Amino acid sequence: MKKILLIGTGGTIASDVTDSGLAPELTTEQLLSHIPGISDICGVDCLQLLNLDSTNMTPAHWLEIAACIRDHYGCYDGFVITHGTDTMAYTAAALSYLIQGSPKPIVLTGAQRPIGFDSTDSKTNLADAFRCAAEDLPGVSIVFNSRVILGTRAKKTRSKSFQAFSSINHPELGVLRDGVLLRYIRQDCREAPVFYDRLDPRVALLKLVPGTGRDAADFLLERNDALIIESFGVGGLPEAGGFYDCVRRWMEAGRVVVLTTQVENEGSDLGVYHVGYRLKSDLGVLEAYDMTTEAVVAKLMWILGQTRRREEVERLFYTPVARDILWPGL
């Protein structure tokens, strides 16, 4: 029987009603008591690492979770991490870069309603997560609403309903039917994972709206090492307002600028329109292609935690990790 470590970080799944609204209150042992039948599937040890509303999750917490898995990696066959849904996709992406090539499953799950509620998705999600952690499912994934989603491809696309997460620009890894995992895709893995212990949290995100000027970009680039700009459609920047000169100035000062799109599916393609072409051909702005914004944020933090050399940053950004970028020609 497989031995799984349950790591608790808080979130709705572990929340209870308080005078000021739902707040994480339950321990991993209390969560496990709601699914006693799991002992027929795997052995479980519990570890309460954090107890946060996931809105309060930070890159420092990602490092703490990765270090916890590293410290216990040799003792368990798989890992289940309970987590709030709001930033779960960011954490799944971050762990995909901090723990690369894991042959053992690292499964994140949570819920839209607390485990103590009568109408809850918590029990099914948690039981399914254990089932997946006890299977041959390498790498980092999110298991939610009977779907298995690659850690670098997950995005929360519904705020309330049980089908909270979608797989963006990549097929789901599998589904669960009547407690049985039907796996469609198996991630590549190594014989042993490679762990990383550094992130640069000075990565900012700017979402364009019509009429946005360069002031916001200047402000963020002055205070951060990298800026991700969520542009419109396949990508580009307004020709008025000084954006081009802003990007050129800060890239010459050593900042990293990435262009991505606000559109969830199909990705960017800066070469299509004049508003994007010069950014890539003349300035060398990095392009996110089919990556999720969550993955771009986490990947830049990981890369800049390892190097600041422009050529190496570009090489690592375009090197696929856990199928995070699959654009043709890369």
Annotated binding residues for substrate, written as ranges, equal 54, 85-86
CA 294/CA 86 separation, integer angstroms: 12
Q: Is 85 a catalytic residue?
A: yes
Sequence length of the chain is: 330
306, 315 in Cβ contact below 8 A?
Answer: no
Q: Is 109 a catalytic residue?
A: no
The one catalytic residue in 9, 28, 82, 85 is 85
Tokens of 166: 């979608």
225: left (phi over 0), alpha (psi -120 to 50) or beta: alpha
CA 127/CA 179 separation, integer angstroms: 8
CA 204/CA 225 separation, integer angstroms: 8
Tokens of 305: 């935690």
CA 94/CA 89 separation, integer angstroms: 9
Q: Which residues are annotated as a binding site?
A: 54, 85-86
Residue 93 pairs in a beta bridge with: none
33, 175 in Cβ contact below 8 A?
Answer: no
Task: Give whole-number Cα distances, 302 to 78, 171, 321, in Å.
Answer: 23, 25, 11
Residues 6+ apart with CB under 8 A from 164: 85, 112, 144, 145, 156, 157, 158
Burial class (CB in 10 A: 0-12, 13-18, 19+), 199: buried
Residues 6+ apart with CB under 8 A from 15: 22, 23, 24, 25, 26, 53, 114
Q: Active-site residue numbers?
A: 12, 85
